[in-house]
Structure 1
Amino acid sequence: MGGNRRTRHGSPAATLRAALAMIGGVEAVSPVIATPPLGPSIRRFANAAALIRSAEPPPVLLARLKAIERSLGRRPGRRWGARPIDLDIVLWSGGRWRSRTLAVPHLAFRDRRFVLAPLARIVPCWRDPVSGRTIRQLLTQVDRRRPST
């Protein structure tokens, strides 16, 4: 989950907290981390990960998450632009899910430190059903690929 625009709830971090309350079933939440944006946005993002319990299959959960995004001010717009909230399903206890509109695990999560770092704080030993690597191992790989400055 992430966002980089203020909403009626306040800062992006406050909006993340509001989204968590709306999602429900939250079993664990990572700390919020500030990350630089991908793409054209100039504002830093507030990112976090949450482990939730839900009996909903991934498409039903995704529809509910998108409704929550809309209620928090998310509107269709430029890809990777500024946004008040972004809620994604990254992993699922059922392993893989694939449909025309949804892929779980999230296709790009293995390459995104802003996803892996929060995940590693709450589920470091969870295994990616595609690679078999743990979240901690995937984070180590991403960190190794980053150029040192």
Structure 2
Amino acid sequence: MQRYLIALGSNKRHHRHGAPAGVLAAALDALAAQGIAVLAAAPVLQSAPLGPSRRRYANGAALIESELDPEELLALLKSTERLFGRRSGGQRWASRVLDLDIVLWSGGAWSSPDLTVPHKSFRQRGFVLRPARALAPLWRDPITGLSLNHLHARLTQPRRLRR
């Protein structure tokens, strides 16, 4: 069995699941229905959007377990996004009903044309690190060797201004 830390995001209502926080809960239920063991889910937080979207995001993280390798899990996550109405293509960082990303994997690093684990940008994104460290504060980034606690502290600590 492999463990994964996945990031969840939504900033668009769904006709059946309602507001973005409800979309995230429904997405975890959908993953469980597809055989993914959801071990823990972080509390949902609100964050400002990146890019052109004006809607605030509901963000969360989940610790999951599966026999799938990272490429197989990515395919399942993308099919789940499509079930919730996400379409491929379109404007980058536009509003979306559901976004599911693999952040970390118990197997360490993975690289292929379609997937890079750890996620390329997670170290610079508080909306990923905050919920992720709530679940697995001591999980280490295989690239930097730093824990999620340490990465979050680096991102959020006040810095002195240079003269």
* RMSD, matched Cα: 1.3
Say which structure, 1 or 2, has more relative contact order (CA 8 Å, 6+ apart): 2
Aligned to 2:155: 142
Number of aligned positions between the proteins: 147
Runs of 4+ in 1 over 3 A off after TM superposition: none
Structure 2: tracts of 5 or more residues without a match: 1-7
Aligned to 1:52: 64
Tell me whether 1:70 sits opposite 2:54 in the alignment.
Answer: no
What SS does the aligned partner of 1:41 have? coil
Q: Which has the larger radius of gyration?
A: 2
Render the CA deviation track for 1:88-133: whole Å, top value 9, x for unaligned. Answer: 0000000001001100000000000000000010000000000000
CA distance in 2, matches of 1:116, 1:59: 23
Aligned to 1:92: 105
Structure 1: tracts of 5 or more residues without a match: none
Render the CA deviation track for 1:44-71: whole Å, top value 9, x for unaligned. Answer: 0000000000010000000000000000
* TM-score, structure 1 as length reference: 0.96
Write out aligned runs for 1:106-125 (5 A).
Answer: 106-125=119-138
Tell me whether 1:17 sits opposite 2:25 in the alignment.
Answer: yes
How far is 1:146 from its partner? 7.7
* TM-score, structure 2 as length reference: 0.88
Task: Looking at secondary structure, tell me which structure has more strand per residue.
Answer: 2
Report the identity percentage. Answer: 52
